[in-house]
Structure 1
């Protein structure tokens, strides 16, 4: 990761490893509501950039960067001996305020005098501009820039009618300043003496300034929230340093990616470019988090319900009942120059909304929430039956209506992701294979919940619809010569005959017969699909394969996790163990054991997983993969409605001990220990605690 990023709620800061937002950086900045409120933040020592010693952001919510001075000598006169001064930049965000403290320590044997400079700017760029969008219309303007020895301020009036402000204050009076947004502090330090300057950056909208509390109070409160999170989260301990590190990193990354938009905790997609509500990404992340913090699923469902489509609006690819794809709040979205306030161009968000609701109820037993959401669920089901299947052929299909929307509207949404053997891109409307699985799973899993709510007729109807889908599915999608399912059907109902990872998502749905499910699982860990670091998005033998491609040969951890859920449910332990080992093998090579959004699909002969150049990290459904690994190893299948829990555990090669404690399910928590002697079977399973109110059945 060639940047450092911290986040709290709806604000995040992206800098280089020195902690700077360079004035010539295209991407660094302090962001809130899809707007860059700080586009320059540079620290100098005697006019020069300090030397980097270390740069750590392992805690996510606080970053510490250690710097020192280079040798400063002019005409034989030593102004500052090398490595005389230690600079530590410590920053965090609390509420919507960035706090940065610069600590300066004299490690020389003499008194030192030197200058520390700080330079600021704010361009208030919209996130779409930073990502390369070219607007057709004029944008707003910076209307104010001013400063004094204790404060710097800039204001921007957007074409969306919104005023945006950035104010920076510091607790030490500057000795000089310039019109270019530069301040200078003359520092005198005795040997071992330490001095500090704290900068406070305050972004605001429409003059509504966030509350600024003293720095020490802010960091203490922030630490308390993380301590509470960790105390309430599931805990994992194993004899694998990588598994422990991956799980702990995933838990911390998920916490930093949670934002409350007014409906409860909600996982935004990822940093730095997708710190906003997403349909598919957030729903899948919430699904992954059921064994960690089930309440996140409830907050996610309520947020999605609040933004459910109500109109027929081709500009936004919106129809009544449809669940959104992405919600942006910047100037371009608010002024209507892009259709993302919100945008609905996703074929899978709507069935995933129903699927998450059903899985949440089976996990927790909370049918009251489902009853509250039932009007939204019914609208979503109507969308699937109507707008999702406009030609009434039984398949849920997509095509782009918005001129500035997304062409491919599944999770593989790049333009080249659905490709025929001929190399031609599939023409829309397109029926993706995994989407049919989501629809099937959503309907079958929802049916018993509806019966609990007294909606027997509706439950029966969903079971009948699911059965019709199942009867037709194999004939349409199965490729006998490949012994695998096609990724999609195109506009002519012809198979798109690429071998991809998409059918792996079918395994958790139970849509496909067990014999074919086993063939799918086996193919996904065969050499053409599995290179040692996870399941590739496309077979090395398929037209369009490219290990450097975003969706046609790369490895996505969340994609592997969706397949893992199914492998575990079906008892395909050998294949599941291979996938788990692949994820651990990859995590071992990444900073802080953090799985990124994706990485290239090269095999183990390279010696390490090759990073994808613009992958988000941390990223919600990549972080959520660490939770799914634990769920899969436990073989955990709760049914809170029936007051039962099923465990069908395994441990991959190299791991002989796994203890999982405080895992939330139904009305309480369970703690489980898996053990085996080195290299021997059978696996010993011990239930350490069970306050769930459910009986536990151990299989295998």
Structure 2
């Protein structure tokens, strides 16, 4: 049995309601109450501003009957007060609580309506507390002592910690500060209203909280939305609902660095990762390219400004390397201690190159690409000079500090790299998908260098050409046709588990057509695709567990990346099967796809099972909806080459789909797929020719 005094558990998230407009987030119960427990609270940037916000009527909490997300940053909670009003079965006093979050603030409108046949009077209170707990302390299961509140005569309460100031104000309310030594020390203060309602009358109470935090490293962007908002019509209504919900979530996750508010990127996810993450921000921007290149351009610039310049083992920095994550200060818990600017990622650098290349193909102007070419050359230089420390021709990683990430691919949990029999691999680790990213980046970098008259394209074409043969010799395992291993371990032995990682190799240039067909066959088999999406590990492997973070769960972005690879390489049947699984998951999670969910079989459970600590919303999970649409309509532009490939999923397995408002080189494009799979694209910019499939 775990000793709770020494082993703190990460708080669970799956049943909480998040209301977000980055960098501010409210996490509450389904009843709208924010209780002093777990990860509930109002967070700004990387700290908790309010740890308790509980509403009561005559000292009792209203009874919840439902809630609905209304838009980015706005949620409505409905409850009833059955001890007031007429003594009949139907409730006659109702409370509608609309919460609206904006950067650095939260406001609530509390409407209390009576249909009772006689007048109703009550005392309404709002108990508030603030603990200024850091997000990493909360994530580790830790707690912080409540801070003392001060009350003012204008109906306001205030808390201070260093330069951070939190001020809550109730319109026409009385404010009371509580003595921290009192019987309920968790409550820092109270806002109070006395109300009276005649039959059929409604009263509206308003209160708000403002957070001043000059030390935050992230802020709200200063520019309008960077992408188009497409109109989607489809036979499958799930596609329409998922796209609408996901676009609202993506809008709510927009961030900028505090010193550069005009440059937008997507924060990785709520609540743990609402900051700049190289890998996550890059993938999300890449998935949104069908809606325009502006987000990609700003994400590329933000990361280029923080590109590594020297070797620093403590932070993982190296010349040309793209960073992993940005925080206010050193963070982590137990063994893990990461510096504020941390570079412990093996894949962000080739993914940065891939985003630059793909944005160019979608029509990112040359005037935006040319200033990034020195960063491209530096990133390629990292591939050749620092990513392969032992010179065996593969990208690999090891945490030499003892307090950094043990695994530095997208599956970055400590036990993610396992052999087929369940044994854990020892570092240094060379991941399969990272070799694919590097091979693709070498091709992509060479194309950009050649197109813009820079030297070095030949070197990177040679690099990519030799990597494919080397990968085949060292990574392929198993009898018969075999399959690519997950990784090579410290002894250069292939880690022979069957995982979703190999789906990321599709279309990278690392596999032959026959090898891609074999990978598609394996990923389409029930052991991998029998859940609500693609399992991270085969159900036949020794380490498989449906609720393992990376060894059997389903990640929405991972499934979407593989769907995109399957569709692009012509393996439409397994792509459609995985798309159906992900749409079923979306339906089960009210169209807000979580960071991950359990890998249980669709034949065993009737709906997806939550992974209890998964972030929602999550940028690349929300962006996965756009990848589904993109795969369905199959629009693949090559603006520099003057052509567009139109290749939808064969046979229209998702039914008829029309997407209006795609963007190619700034032009608004409409693509329609009828029920037979016939495709039509209109609105393409002049000079682009539709190529055959």
TM-score by length of 2: 0.90
**Residue aligning to 1:280:** 279
Q: Which residue of 2 aligns with 1:219?
A: none
Matches within 5 A, 1:653-672: 655-672=654-671
Please tell me the root mean square deviation across aligned C-alpha atoms, in Å: 2.8
Matched, 1:687 2:686: no
Q: 1:387-423 CA distances to partner (integer Å, 9 max, x unpaired)?
A: 2111111100011123321101111111111112343
Label 1:660 to 1:651 Cα distance change in 2 as closer, same or farther (>3 A): farther
Query: Which runs of structure 2 are paired with 1:541-552 in the superposition (5 Å)?
Result: 541-552=540-551
Residue number among 245, 253, 258 corresponding to 1:257 in the alignment: 253
Residues 143, 66 of structure 1: alpha-carbon distance in 2 compared, 3 angstrom cutoff: closer
How big is each residue's C-alpha offset from its partner over 1:278-334, in whole Å with a ceiling of 9 and x where there is no partner? 11111111111111232111111111112222333322222222211111226858x
Tell me how far 1:268 sits from its aligned partner.
0.8
How big is the shift at 1:79?
Answer: 11
1:94 is the counterpart of 2:88: no
> Please, which of 5, 26, 49 is the counterpart of residue 38 of structure 2?
26
CA offsets 1:78-104 (integer angstroms, 9 cap, x no match): 999983322111121234221111112
Alignment partner of 2:207 out of 199, 202, 226 = 199
The residue number in structure 2 matching 1:150 is: 155
Structure 1 343/143 Cα, relative in aligned 2: closer, same or farther at 3 Å? farther
Verify: 1:131 aligned to 2:139, yes or no.
yes
Structure 1 residue 464, shift from structure 2 partner: 1.2
2:200 match: secondary structure: coil
The question of whether the paired residues in 2 share the 8 Å contact of 1:13 and 1:29 is answered with: yes
Q: Is the contact made by 2:157 and 2:175 (CA closer than 8 Å) also made in structure 1?
A: no
Q: Is the 8 A contact 1:505 1:566 kept in 2?
A: yes
- Alignment check: 8 A CA contact 2:308 2:317 kept: yes
- 1: distance between equivalents of 2:449 and 2:457? 6
Shift of 1:525: 0.7
Are 2:67 and 1:55 equivalent residues in the alignment? yes
Change (3 A) 1:148 1:554: same
What secondary structure sits across from 1:285 in the alignment?
A: helix
3-state secondary structure, aligned to 1:291: helix
User: Any idea what the Cα deviations from partners look like across 1:131-160, whole Å, max 9, x if unmatched?
Assistant: 11779xxx9994764444510001113xxx
Output the CA distance in 2 between the equivalents of 1:410 and 1:255: 27
Counterpart pick for 1:115 among 113, 123, 131: 123
Q: 2:80, 2:91 within 8 Å by CA — same for their partners in 1? A: yes
Q: Partners of 2:69 and 2:289 in 1: how far apart?
A: 27
Q: CA deviation at 1:192?
A: 2.0
Task: Tell whether the 8 Å contact from 2:226 to 2:294 is kept in structure 1 after alignment.
Answer: no
The residue that corresponds to 1:106 in the other structure is 114
Which residue number corresponds to residue 182 of structure 2?
Answer: none
- Report matched runs for 1:317-328 at 5 Å: 317-328=316-327
Q: What SS does structure 1 have at the residue aligned with 2:244?
A: helix
Classify 1:658/1:206 alpha carbon distance in 2 versus 1 (closer, same or farther; 3 Å).
Answer: closer
Specify the alignment match of 2:595 in structure 1. Answer: 597
CA distance in 2, matches of 1:331, 1:401: 17
**Counterpart residue number, 1:15:** 28
Residues 45 and 229 from structure 1, CA distance in 2 versus in 1: closer, same or farther, beyond 3 angstroms?
farther
Q: Which moved more, 1:232-241 or 1:518-527?
A: 232-241
User: For 1:594-630, what per-residue CA distance to the aligned partner results, in whole angstroms no more than 9, with x for missing partners?
Assistant: 2211111111122222211111111111111111111
Q: 1:208-240: CA deviations, max 9, x gaps?
A: 9x99xxxxxxxxxx9x97xx778x323321111
The number of residues matched between the two structures is: 664
Post-superposition shift, 1:66? Answer: 1.2
Give the equivalent residue in structure 2 for 1:293: 292
Q: Distance in 2 between matches of 1:52 and 1:328?
A: 37
Q: Is the 8 A contact 2:149 2:177 kept in 1?
A: no
Distance 1:419 1:373 in 2: 38
SS of match in other structure, 1:602:
coil
**1:235 matches 2:243:** no
Quickly say closer, same or farther: Cα 1:38–1:692, change in 2 above 3 A: farther
Alpha-carbon contact 1:669-1:692 (below 8 Å) kept: no
Pair 674,271 (structure 1): closer, same or farther in 2 beyond 3 Å: same
1:467 aligns with 2:461: no
Alignment deviations for residues 548-599 of structure 1 (CA, whole Å, 9 cap, x no partner) = 21111111111111112211221111222222222122222221x2221111
- Residues 453-495 of structure 1: CA deviation (Å, up to 9, x unaligned): 111x311211111111122111111114162100001111110
CA 1:669 to 1:511, structure 2 compared with 1: closer, same or farther past 3 Å?
farther
Deviation, structure 1 residue 50: 0.5
Pick closer, same or farther for the CA change 1:148–1:311 going to 2, 3 Å.
Answer: farther
Matches within 5 A, 1:425-440: 425-440=424-439
Mapped partners of 2:30, 2:678: distance in 1: 46
Q: Which moved more, 1:545-554 or 1:85-94?
A: 85-94
CA distance in 2, matches of 1:83, 1:330: 50
Whole-Å Cα distance in 1 between the matches of residues 290 and 488 of structure 2? 34
Counterpart in the other structure of 1:215 = none
Q: Distance in 2 between matches of 1:698 and 1:99?
A: 53
TM-aligned CA deviation for residue 265 of structure 1 = 2.1
Contact 2:664 2:684 in 1 (8 A): no
Paired with 2:165 and 2:538, the residues of 1 have a C-alpha distance of: 50
Give the gaps of 5 or more residues in structure 2: 1-13, 180-187
| Structure 2: distance between partners of 1:134 and 1:305 | 35
Q: What's the counterpart of residue 170 of structure 1? A: 170
Partner of 2:58: 46
Secondary structure of the 2:529 match is coil
TM-score normalized by the length of structure 1: 0.89
> How much does 1:182 deviate?
1.8
